[in-house]
Amino acid sequence: MLPPAARIRAITLDLDDTLWPIGPTIVRAEAALAAWMLEHAPRVAERFDIAATQALRAAVASDWPERAHDLTAMRCETIRRMLASSGEDEALMPAAFDVFFAARQQVELYADVQQALERLAARWPLMALTNGNADLERVGVAHWFKGCLRAHDVGVGKPDRRIFAAACVRLDCEPGDVLHVGDDLLLDVHGALAAGMHAAWVRRIGDDRPVTAPPCWHGPDLLRLAEGLGV
């Protein structure tokens, strides 16, 4: 259930899989990177197929657990290792990452998002709160948001309560005055509630996982949430 709209002073929103599907976005970004490697570092393209790339990313995550919250650093290190282990120039890493990162910003918003954000932003200040590395300006949604707080800005990611607390500080709000909206039951819902915030769980059509949720609003999209908040 939602708190009365009058009790909400601000809203934080997750990005990936809440405003757009992240899976197809990453697939396209990795395809763009592979095409660039084929031209500029062909030995990488020969050695690293999808499975090999995923295995290397897992190895980087295992080696750098303290940096798991920084997806940009993890991706850069993966690319560096791909180049080094293939006998290519490691100095190509920044250019290769730029190709991946540019494609990563080419998202396709869910159909409900534009209208819902217009309604919500007309009533409350919105702040993006993400474990990812989307760029609001390049994605094209920055005009609806007062700012963006990423895990690598804070040094921890959701569900750590410190990232939620940092968002409340930026919004100049007490946690009990803020509603967090996201698609992930653990990272978004449980994380926000543990931090003293309200939570709304966006379970899009097709998400029929049998789970037991804590008492909070849940619905299929952001428009339904906006309606529930009376905007």
**Degrees to nearest 5, angle at CA 52 with 83 and 61:** 80
According to DSSP, the residues that pair with 124 across neighbouring strands are none
The answer to whether residues 41 and 83 touch, using CB atoms and an 8 Å cutoff, is: yes
Task: Residue 141: name the closest of 225, 19, 58, 224 by CA.
Answer: 19
Question: How far is the CA of 48 from the CAs of 30, 34, 64, 93, 203, in angstroms?
Answer: 11, 9, 21, 15, 35
Report the run of H or E that residue 17 belongs to, with start and end. Answer: none
Annotated catalytic residues are: 14
